[in-house]
Structure 1
Amino acid sequence: MIIYEATKEEFMNDVTDDSIAVKIHESYLQKIGKVSLGEINSWNNSMNYMYKVLNTPIIPDDVGVAIEYKVPTTSRRIDFMLTGLDEKDRYSVVIVELKQWSALNKVESLDGLVETVINKRLGKHTHPSYQAYTYAKLISDYNESVQNELISLYPCAYLHNYIREDDDPLTDDIYENWISEAPVFTKGDALKLRGFISTYIKKSDRKKSLYLIEHGKIKPSKSLQDSLLKMLEGNEEFLMIDEQKVAYEVAILMAKKAQTTDRKQVLIVEGGPGTGKSVLAINLLVQLTAQEMVCQYVTKNSAPREVYTKRLQRGYKKTVINNLFKSSGVYYEALPNEFDALIVDEAHRLNEKSGLFKNKGENQMMEIIRAAKCSIFFIDEYQKVSMQDVGNKEQIKQFAKLYDAEVVEIELESQFRCNGSDGYLAWLDDMLAIRETANSDGFDIQYDFRVFDDPNELRNEIFKKNHNNKARMLAGYCWDWIRDGKSNPEVHDIYLEEHQFSASWNLNNTQTWAIDPESVEQVGCIHTSQGLEFDYVGVIIGEDLRYMDGKVVTDPFKRAKTDKSLSGFKSLYKKDKNKALRIADQIIKNTYRTLLTRGMKGCYIYCVDPLLREYFLERLSSQKSITYPLYEEREYAVAEERTSYVTGEKLRK
């Protein structure tokens, strides 16, 4: 997606008559939504500087200009692109990362990071050259047109407010690797940037390369489970951008610091679905292990561990694998500081007690902090899907204080799943009445979201999309798990009489259902899909989520008897009805939020409740922009027995 597209001549005219920011803003509102005043001001400022750079006949008037191009598979956007042909008539694109920064500090201990003030807060951010390079790399990795048409990308950064001095931190030797990949220009460098652009763009291609990039097919991205083996062998499989890179470098530094001091280190990394938490966790496992630290990847959910284990059995002994991936319930007997680092994925799913009968240990958060010199928690409290899920930031910080640990918090924002659409996730939250968002009228991206009237049609579409074993059916846990293994193949757990639809839960391959080829015939639940991702998912929404009296309501009494995620609900309901309904409401909505965000490219749904189906269709019809398939204290609304209840340091120039 490109917000603003023009020739150089048209761009220059828009800047001359002071309409450039207005045109960018109008297009942004139409394609994405609201934008801050600060961003509008930055457009005004930066585009005037780019006018000076391009004000020369050396760069032809009819070369292409693109502003705010969305980076494939992420929610990030490239500030400015110029497209044309080089001296040998090959497609050539110059990428310019624009910065308003006027000052920064170098950060010697963290690769590729600097320290500067953004929104009046001093913080660590990726070096502009690193940022420009990784954005270009992501385009070349994921845009098929760039690869097939041999489009060359030349990234750079332009800090037009930054005055460079002798021995300047921006161009310090520690950033040499990144600056060599993407040169950095500062205030007074307009002619140098002009020379950089004119080196690679000699003539117009009539915006053809711009068209190819904008309409290029996004190749299937590498999934974490497929790339794990290569990662553990030391290959770079996933590029980390922006705050991902910050979190990675901070985690490495804290782990090293914990080795040389007596003080424990605790890092809390918060991020929604698809923000790269699991990728970061595996990258850290690889890097810290390579540095000969004793570390483990920890998650309560067994499905990701088993998937990773199966993938790794091709190259590692099972004993080695099992020592890398652990359940969260094994640390109650661990010695203090027994591990150099424990990397906890899905930390929101941690329990209080451990053991089969939940009678061992005291608290899994506390036990992990006690057992590790450095503990790293990846958390999203909106993904709690069980009454036993107690992991939360505040308790982690309390236990860290108990052990006098140093605590650092980082938030991940870049979105990689759901085709990189932050808007889709915000729209879902608004749709499910989890929280009010600015995306009540739709989302901003080409994400394949469809509502089906017939579950058989949904299943057929998932079969079509499963050509690479990356499409799956999922469902809310509203049907009992009754099928007795392979001995009763004709017995189906899920049956929808209206459509003569029947299907079975994944009984025989619960742990590796996500990657087993026959799994497309079965339906997965929250316990076999959380923490994993697919290209496409088809989600059957059961009667535990309905639409009544103008509200999305939940009904815990429609959950299956075999569902353990609401274990304890009935006893709590007898003691405190409102509290029980409030907790169940959160769990049910979080469950569907998680299921509906497992798809990288698309999500298809069928709602058992026809009114909920109409509600989804109505909300989709109000989309502010058309979506196309890719590739070919808050109030709670709870239904109970069909009744609705509402219960800094100075910067160096």
Structure 2
Amino acid sequence: MIIYQNTAGGFVDDVVQNAIIDEIVAGFETQGVGGASQNEIRSWKNSLQYMSNLFYNCDVPTDADVAIEFQIPLTSRRVDFMISGRDINDNKNITIIELKQWEGNPTEPVPDKDGIVKTILGGGKRETTHPSYQAWSYSRLIEDFNLKVQQDEIELCPLAYLHNFDEQYRERLDHPAYKHYTKEAPVFLKQDVDNLSRVLESKIASTNSENLIQQIADSDLKPNKKLQDSLGAMLEANDEFTLIDSQKVVFERAVELAEKANQQNSKKVLIVEGGPGTGKTVVAINILAELIQEDYTAQYVSKNRAPRSVYKKKLRGDMLVKEIDHLFNGAGSYVSTSSNQFPALIADEAHRLNEESNFFGKGENQIMEIINASQFSVFFIDENQRVHIDDIGSRQEIKKFANQMNADIEEMELEAQFRCSGSDGYVAWLDDVLEIRDTANADGFDLEFDVRLYDDPQSLHHAIEQKNKAGTLSRVVAGYCWEWEKEGRSDSDYVDIEIGDYRKSWNRDGGDPWAIDEGSIDEVGCIHTCQGLEFDYVGVIIGPDMKYRDGEIVTDHEGRASTDYSLRGVKKMMNEDPEEAQKIVDEVVKNTYRTLLSRGLKGCYIYCCDDQLEDYLRTRLENINGSIEF
């Protein structure tokens, strides 16, 4: 989709005649994608004047094709400015220009994060993507999936133009941490008008009235060979992605259904139920890689950022994470996607899907949007891991929307348990202990799984540190019962959690994904940083949102931090319908701890803020014939 399209000469005329903003706004209305925001309009008024001035300064052909706000297929992202033609060697070329109004003084590098800088945005200093990374990533996505670009060998040349950014601050964007991106997509600043003019003249030296931009907008989508080979090699080299037993069965069936759906032009939906540690994500990643290698455009989808970040990093091998970034997408990315645009979408952690797709309240229902956007969709789900008041993912909801769109529905189950020392019994015991459901494991389970109960959090944390030091990936996590203060989110020395003399920082917002960042062993994680992931040993601090009173588990929404939105709105519900509100609180709190307590492959160490809950767990643990310590 292209919001504005013209020749270079026509674009300059529209700017000179003060018509360019009206033309772009009209383009939004014509495309039916809603109105432009005031921030976007201000940006166009500023930046497009500089682009017009640039054309006055260089000899780019006036009949070169120009596009503004070109929406990249498969995403909701739009390229600021594109110009196409033939370069000085007569090769087809499209130059991709990321425009920024940034000024140098408030901008600073963030070297511990990949492709991230900090600058003034929306009235405050915020982290955002480096302009070179942004331009490069747009170019990479088009190259990886656009058939026209691949077949016609169209060269894409990304660059960034920061027309207000003064030369004296150049080192803030040219920091060594950004070397890969600035090499692929050079940055041009306020004083670089002549240099940028010469670059554009070399890239767009002539035209053949080919309208290359429209051609790539209309092109079919297909993964390129380089991406296919790289993804296959990465999976083959990583034993963690090897499939066994029911994982292999589900994988083969999912691939078969995807092929049939696309060959027969019929919509198909597969629902895969699997408890903690059954390998849902491993199967999902394998399906993604296989379909990409079979020429199907596919994406891995999840609401949680943590598993997307961790598995991108695990999967990449020697590649940069960002080179496969576009294969992993958030669940709210398909609001305006046309029907069946994707051959396949793989929705992991589908129990976390919501109705509204983003913070602006757009979108009708993420389940519906995913099914609508794809010829084949697979949903990996564990309804007992719904840990937010807005979580709607369930078999019933998926079936409802699949039926509305006349999709064929199939259901499967992952049975093998690879976490908790391979025991379904431990998870069933947790369900009984937390009073989620009655199970046959009320008296315990028989396995070598290291469960320990500690009477102070410092001892628990030290034990987990020792496990991690011995070479087993181990982390401490907790219920979201302490405030995560904004000013301390990037500082591991900032104290968020205080329990007596125990003082720790919440999951630091920075660097590698928290679950696998080396520094994370000194911090405490929450449900949002570890759901969908696993450790060898997990230490769990059960906060004041869960207690034991009068012979039963009691949940308390007042024990949750205000910075956690998982129970947002429940106080109002307590006044309107206290019985239903308490039911929701019970589900969210109990499922949260069920999820945290089942993150361990080899063991789980527990501390309870509530003494009566500790006594209750001690009693329950005494019945287990396993490796139990107190």
When normalised by structure 2's length, the TM-score is 0.61
CA 1:487/1:294 → structure 2, altered by over 3 Å: closer, same or farther?
A: closer
Instruction: Provide the residue aligned with 2:271 in structure 1.
Output: 268
Preserved CA contact (<8 Å) 1:328 1:350 = yes
In the alignment, the residues of structure 1 paired with residue 441 and residue 585 of structure 2 have an alpha-carbon distance, to the nearest angstrom, of: 25
Consecutive aligned runs of 4 or more in structure 1 exceeding 6 Å deviation: none
**More deviation in 298-307 or 565-574?**
565-574
In the alignment, the residues of structure 2 paired with residue 420 and residue 321 of structure 1 have an alpha-carbon distance, to the nearest angstrom, of: 31
Q: Structure 1 residue aligned with 2:499, among 493, 496, 517?
A: 496
Preserved CA contact (<8 Å) 2:355 2:364 = yes
Shift of 1:510: 8.1
- For 1:6-41, what per-residue CA distance to the aligned partner results, in whole angstroms no more than 9, with x for missing partners? xxxxxxxxxxxxxxxxxxxxxxxxxxxxxxxxxxxx
CA 1:495/1:321 → structure 2, altered by over 3 Å: closer, same or farther?
A: same
In the alignment, the residues of structure 1 paired with residue 232 and residue 545 of structure 2 have an alpha-carbon distance, to the nearest angstrom, of: 39
Instruction: Provide the residue aligned with 2:556 in structure 1.
Output: 555
CA 1:528/1:489 → structure 2, altered by over 3 Å: closer, same or farther?
A: closer
Instruction: Provide the residue aligned with 2:207 in structure 1.
Output: none
- For 1:43-66, what per-residue CA distance to the aligned partner results, in whole angstroms no more than 9, with x for missing partners? xxxxxxxxxxxxxxxxxxxxxxxx
In the alignment, the residues of structure 2 paired with residue 588 and residue 558 of structure 1 have an alpha-carbon distance, to the nearest angstrom, of: 10
* 1:295 paired to 2:317: no
In the alignment, the residues of structure 2 paired with residue 513 and residue 507 of structure 1 have an alpha-carbon distance, to the nearest angstrom, of: 7
Shift of 1:242: 3.1
Instruction: Provide the residue aligned with 1:573 in structure 2.
Output: 574
Unmatched 5+ stretches in structure 1: 1-226, 630-653
CA 1:308/1:457 → structure 2, altered by over 3 Å: closer, same or farther?
A: same
In the alignment, the residues of structure 2 paired with residue 301 and residue 330 of structure 1 have an alpha-carbon distance, to the nearest angstrom, of: 13
Shift of 1:487: 8.1
CA 1:330/1:379 → structure 2, altered by over 3 Å: closer, same or farther?
A: same
Instruction: Provide the residue aligned with 2:402 in structure 1.
Output: 400
Preserved CA contact (<8 Å) 1:229 1:312 = no
Instruction: Provide the residue aligned with 1:442 in structure 2.
Output: 444
Instruction: Provide the residue aligned with 1:258 in structure 2.
Output: 261
In the alignment, the residues of structure 2 paired with residue 422 and residue 366 of structure 1 have an alpha-carbon distance, to the nearest angstrom, of: 32
Shift of 1:247: 1.1
Shift of 1:484: 2.5
The alignment partner of 1:304 has SS state of helix
Shift of 1:488: 6.4
Name which structure has the greater RCO, CA cutoff 8 Å, separation 6+: 1
The alignment partner of 1:330 has SS state of coil
CA 1:520/1:469 → structure 2, altered by over 3 Å: closer, same or farther?
A: farther
* 1:278 paired to 2:281: yes
* 1:626 paired to 2:629: no
* 1:343 paired to 2:342: no
CA 1:579/1:317 → structure 2, altered by over 3 Å: closer, same or farther?
A: same
- For 1:570-592, what per-residue CA distance to the aligned partner results, in whole angstroms no more than 9, with x for missing partners? 12222211111100110000000
Taking the TM superposition and a 5 Å limit, the aligned residue runs for 1:372-411 are: 372-411=374-413
In the alignment, the residues of structure 2 paired with residue 317 and residue 503 of structure 1 have an alpha-carbon distance, to the nearest angstrom, of: 32
Taking the TM superposition and a 5 Å limit, the aligned residue runs for 1:489-528 are: 491-497=494-500, 500-509=501-510, 512-528=513-529
Unmatched 5+ stretches in structure 2: 1-229
The alignment partner of 1:464 has SS state of helix
Shift of 1:485: 2.8
Preserved CA contact (<8 Å) 2:301 2:347 = yes
Preserved CA contact (<8 Å) 2:232 2:293 = no
Shift of 1:503: 0.8
Write the letter of the residue equivalent to 2:366. Answer: Q
* 1:424 paired to 2:426: yes
Shift of 1:454: 1.5
Preserved CA contact (<8 Å) 2:472 2:537 = no
Shift of 1:560: 0.7
Percent identical residues: 53
In the alignment, the residues of structure 2 paired with residue 255 and residue 313 of structure 1 have an alpha-carbon distance, to the nearest angstrom, of: 24
In the alignment, the residues of structure 2 paired with residue 517 and residue 235 of structure 1 have an alpha-carbon distance, to the nearest angstrom, of: 20
In the alignment, the residues of structure 1 paired with residue 263 and residue 231 of structure 2 have an alpha-carbon distance, to the nearest angstrom, of: 30
In the alignment, the residues of structure 2 paired with residue 242 and residue 283 of structure 1 have an alpha-carbon distance, to the nearest angstrom, of: 14
* 1:544 paired to 2:545: yes
Write the letter of the residue equivalent to 2:388. Answer: S
Preserved CA contact (<8 Å) 1:535 1:600 = yes
The alignment partner of 1:506 has SS state of coil
Preserved CA contact (<8 Å) 1:348 1:379 = yes
Instruction: Provide the residue aligned with 1:322 in structure 2.
Output: 325
In the alignment, the residues of structure 2 paired with residue 459 and residue 230 of structure 1 have an alpha-carbon distance, to the nearest angstrom, of: 38
The alignment partner of 1:251 has SS state of helix
Preserved CA contact (<8 Å) 1:494 1:502 = yes
Preserved CA contact (<8 Å) 2:488 2:494 = no
Write the letter of the residue equivalent to 1:506. Answer: N
The alignment partner of 1:444 has SS state of coil
CA 1:231/1:416 → structure 2, altered by over 3 Å: closer, same or farther?
A: farther
In the alignment, the residues of structure 1 paired with residue 566 and residue 336 of structure 2 have an alpha-carbon distance, to the nearest angstrom, of: 26
Preserved CA contact (<8 Å) 2:234 2:317 = no
- For 1:380-438, what per-residue CA distance to the aligned partner results, in whole angstroms no more than 9, with x for missing partners? 00000001111111111111111111110001111110110111000000000000000
Preserved CA contact (<8 Å) 1:349 1:389 = yes
How many pairs does the alignment contain? 399
Shift of 1:272: 0.6
Preserved CA contact (<8 Å) 2:484 2:496 = yes
**More deviation in 439-448 or 230-239?**
230-239
Taking the TM superposition and a 5 Å limit, the aligned residue runs for 1:151-230 are: none
Write the letter of the residue equivalent to 1:534. Answer: F
